[in-house]
Amino acid sequence: MAASLLPVSQKFINGVPVPQGRKTLRLKEKYIILLVFVTFGLVCFGAFFFLPDLRDRVRLNDVKNRIRNVNEMIIPHGGIKGGEVIRHDVDDHKHLNEDVIKFQNQMQRDLAREGRVVEMGKKLNISKKDVVNIKDEIDSEKDKMMKIRKEEEKKKAENEKEKAIKVEMEHAGGEGGQGGEPSDPDVRKKREKVREMMKHAWVNYEKHAWGANELRPISKRGHSASIFGSLSLGATIIDAADTLYIMELMDEYKKARDWIATSFSFEGASELSVFETNIRFVGGLLSLYALTGDVMYKRKAIKVADKLLPAFDTPTGIPQSMVNTKTGSARNWGWASGGCSILAEFGSFHLEFVYLSEISGKSVYKDKVMKIREVLNSIEKPNGLYPNYLNPRTGRWGQSHTAIGALGDSFYEYLLKSWLQSGKKDEMAKKMYDEAVQAISEKLVKKSPGGLTYVAEYKSGRLENKMDHLGCFAGGMFALGAKYSDNEEKYMNLGAGISNTCHESYARSETKLGPEAFRFDGNTEAKSIRQNEKYYILRPEVVETHFYMWRLTKDQKYRDWNWEAIQALEKNCRVDGGYTGVRDVYQSNPSQDDVQQSFFLAETLKYLYLTFSDDSLIPLDKWVFNTEAHPLPIESANKVIEKKER
């Protein structure tokens, strides 16, 4: 309606009626535009000349206030936010030229940027005269930040890689290879004592006999028994390394590992015991592989086992006792019943060789031991018993002598453990074991007048009421196999009885250490009567049986008995240079033999340590021990994860 009152000649600009004095109005618009330019110049460039001197710093709030004033000057009742004009009164400003609005927006963005420049100047402590270079400084800082960010991302990636490697290392190997710390403070203290004993034995070997087979702890030099031939093979290093790992003596373990990787070799001419080389070297290396997943150990084990293969080249496949590592020639001990092989020796390859075939993919090792198994299973056993001697050429038994101690011991152990190792699938091994222990329990197990259970020897048609220290392992074997037998109570009681008898052989000596052999003749019970049977050479079999009985029954006396053995070892066998055997356990101050046997570190100290550890360390449902106490994994129950080689 109001529009109809205007003269017809009225002009419009941008939809707004132009009154009289048109030139004056255009001049006002130009003035506003000029004002905008002047304001921009004052704010953007004048600030540089009016900055305070170095004693004062520009505040970001000051810049914001200036921006706010410009907003009010240019657009009354409005403002600028986020680089855009905000118009509260649209009617008052809707006629502003769009170009002016765009210019205002651009100006605001520039002002905001300059405000950031000033603020950066404050943070970097830039002087007034250097403000003109702030943009370059900002760009430089941006480049630095980008570089730092890239470095941080690189470091993060490296940390993630290291973390992955650490996780891989923690999960490499089989389950339950470390840990097992007991919650009871007293038990923990005793376990730590065994760990200290291991360190004492190892440090002195390292100091006085490094690289030699064994240590003479009194004369403080290297030692080598005939079973190792003429080569320095570091038998103690190979034998002890898995114990070091299990005890988490990692500095010592790493030194052992490095020596094995760089210095251990079977090159050179030497005649070695095939049996001892297998249980100590092949068994030790395979155990280290299983515990750690380190493929270096697997490669070394293959090389050693290959050196032993010529000993199996006999008409029956029954291996001979000695092999020359250079020529491959083999022979049996001259004293062994007319050139016979020994039951405990040729019957103690199964655990190592089957596992080696499994992890190497080479069937030759398993083929060798399965041939032995077939021969033993097929030939007749007199009275159901296995004699200690077998001729490898004819396949016939030699001298009629049966014992679970020296010459026979580990054969029986390997029958049971082969079945366990296979995940209870090796039915032939289980059948042979059941038949063997039944014959032993019926024909060789006896009880003394004082009620002590023992396993006698059958020799030349008569019983000899004698038991070896070596035979004391059988208590643990009978108990381990008890729950898988037709008469669990019978064999568990048999294991407990033998464990008690072997403890008595310790308790009845002056040193509280057991002799090499003890008898049950007349008034003699669990004591030696011959001078050549009174020595103790740091053997493990008694503490081994106590360990098994503790794990299987949780009867406190078995831990107590092993603690007694620890105290006896410390009193009679510890010297400044390590541990030594004694020549007569019935003397209060016995002479010492000056030999620290490698099996003391491999077996004796390991079984003592495990006795005072929780069952989660080397659990018996996931591991079996070879006859040198090197743990090997049970198939399907304990998967070994290999470390990736780098």
Task: Tell me the DSSP string of 123-135.
Answer: HHT--GGGGGGHH
- Torsion angles phi and psi, residue 574, rounded to 5: -80, 130
Supply the pLDDT for residue 77. Answer: 44
Supply the pLDDT for residue 578. Answer: 98
For residue 185, give both structure tokens. 């403070």
Supply the pLDDT for residue 566. Answer: 98
Q: Which of 70-74, 215-219, 423-427, 521-525 has the lowest mean pLDDT?
A: 70-74
Is the full-model pTM beyond 0.85? Answer: no
Q: Which amino acid is at 557?
A: K
Which secondary structure element, helix H or strand E, spans residue 342, and what is its range? strand 341-342
Residue of 113 and 196 predicted with greater confidence: 196
pLDDT exceeds cutoff 90 at 150: no
For residue 369, give both structure tokens. 């031991």
Q: Which amino acid is at 633?
A: P
Q: Which amino acid is at 562?
A: N
Q: Count CA atoms closer than 13 A to 274's CA, side-chain side.
A: 31
pLDDT exceeds cutoff 90 at 611: yes
The answer to whether residue 516 is catalytic is yes
Angstrom distance (rounded) from CA 376 to CA 21:
129
Among candidate residues 485, 484, 520, the one with its CA nearest the CA of residue 502: 520
Residue of 115 and 530 predicted with greater confidence: 530
Mean pLDDT of the chain: 86
CB 244 within 8 A of CB 253: yes
Angstrom distance (rounded) from CA 369 to CA 381:
19
Q: Which amino acid is at 527?
A: K
Q: Which of 252, 457, 504, 516 is catalytic?
A: 516
For residue 191, give both structure tokens. 């376990």
For residue 299, give both structure tokens. 């490669």
Relative orientation angle of helices 295-308 and 250-262, to the nearest 10 degrees: 50
Supply the pLDDT for residue 586. Answer: 98
Residue of 401 and 75 predicted with greater confidence: 401
Supply the pLDDT for residue 340. Answer: 97
Residue of 92 and 645 predicted with greater confidence: 645
Q: Which of 126-135, 181-190, 488-497, 514-523 has the lowest mean pLDDT?
A: 126-135
pLDDT exceeds cutoff 80 at 198: yes
Residue of 419 and 169 predicted with greater confidence: 419
CB 12 within 8 A of CB 18: yes
For residue 328, give both structure tokens. 């491959």
Residue the block writes with tokens 């090159």: 267
Q: What is the pLDDT of residues 362-397, one digit of tens each?
A: 999 999 999 999 999 999 999 999 999 999 999 999
Supply the pLDDT for residue 54. Answer: 41
Angstrom distance (rounded) from CA 480 to CA 500:
16
Q: How far is CA 449 from the centre of its chain?
A: 49
Angstrom distance (rounded) from CA 645 to CA 515:
47
Angstrom distance (rounded) from CA 254 to CA 390:
42
Among candidate residues 331, 215, 312, the one with its CA nearest the CA of residue 597: 215
What DSSP state is assigned to residue 582?
B
Among candidate residues 288, 324, 362, the one with its CA nearest the CA of residue 628: 288
Q: What is the pLDDT of residues 28-81, one digit of tens each?
A: 555 566 555 556 555 554 544 444 444 444 444 554 555 455 444 444 444 444
- 578-579/574-575 β-pairing: antiparallel
What share of residues in the chain are helix, strand, coil (percent, to 5)?
A: 55, 10, 35
Residue of 557 and 147 predicted with greater confidence: 557
Average pLDDT over residues 487-495: 98
Residue the block writes with tokens 């020639």: 329
Supply the pLDDT for residue 157. Answer: 77
Supply the pLDDT for residue 644. Answer: 75
Among candidate residues 312, 307, 304, 285, the one with its CA nearest the CA of residue 296: 285
Which secondary structure element, helix H or strand E, spans residue 458, and what is its range? strand 457-459
Which secondary structure element, helix H or strand E, spans residue 401, and what is its range? strand 401-402
